[in-house]
Amino acid sequence: MTYTNEAVIILILAMAAATYLPRLLPLLLLSRRRLPLSVERWLSYVPVAVLAALLGPILLLPEGSFTLELSPNPYFWAALPTFAAAVYTRNMFITVIAGVVCMALLRLILS
């Protein structure tokens, strides 16, 4: 299948609009309004829910089935000390370093 230059440009512009508009419209419409406290409270859970949705499958179902064994699921075991570092230090840099070090150590041990 071949595309003309015009079709590619239109497709890129459409994808840019589909990505940009959902971010721009709420900003324009809600930037000068005060949201009700219940809506603000509900929105505060969105980042946690998105993070859980992203991490849950990779930590608990790494190969499509539930396992807590070390070899097929090192992500879960690296996540435990990383989570502890996050809770204890509340520092993003230290948390990332802890996660990288834990995963490197597990890969070294398992290889």
Residue 31 has which token pair? 């930037």
* Span 28-78, pLDDT tens digits: 988 888 989 999 999 999 999 999 999 999 999 988 888 888 888 899 999
Can you read off the two tokens belonging to residue 66? 């539930």
Query: pLDDT digit string (tens) for 72-95?
Result: 889 999 999 999 999 999 999 999
Q: Provide the residue range defining the domain that includes 46.
A: 34-110
82 within domain boundaries: yes
Please indicate, yes or no, whether the overall pTM of this predicted structure exceeds 0.85. no
How many structural domains comprise the chain?
1
Q: Do the domain assignments include residue 57?
A: yes
Q: What angle do CA 62, 66, 72 make, to 5 degrees?
A: 45
In a domain, 9, yes or no: no
Give the pLDDT score at 70: 86
Residue 106 lies in a domain: yes
- Domain membership of residue 23 (yes or no) is no
Token digits for 26?
């709420």
The angle subtended at Cα 28 by Cα 25 and Cα 32, nearest 5°, is 140
Let me know if residue 14 belongs to a domain.
no
Residues 6+ positions from 79 with CB-CB distance below 8 Å: 55, 59, 99
Would 27 be classed as within a structural domain? no
Answer yes or no: is 6 within a domain.
no
Predicted local distance difference test score (pLDDT) of residue 90: 96
Q: Return the pLDDT at 105.
A: 96
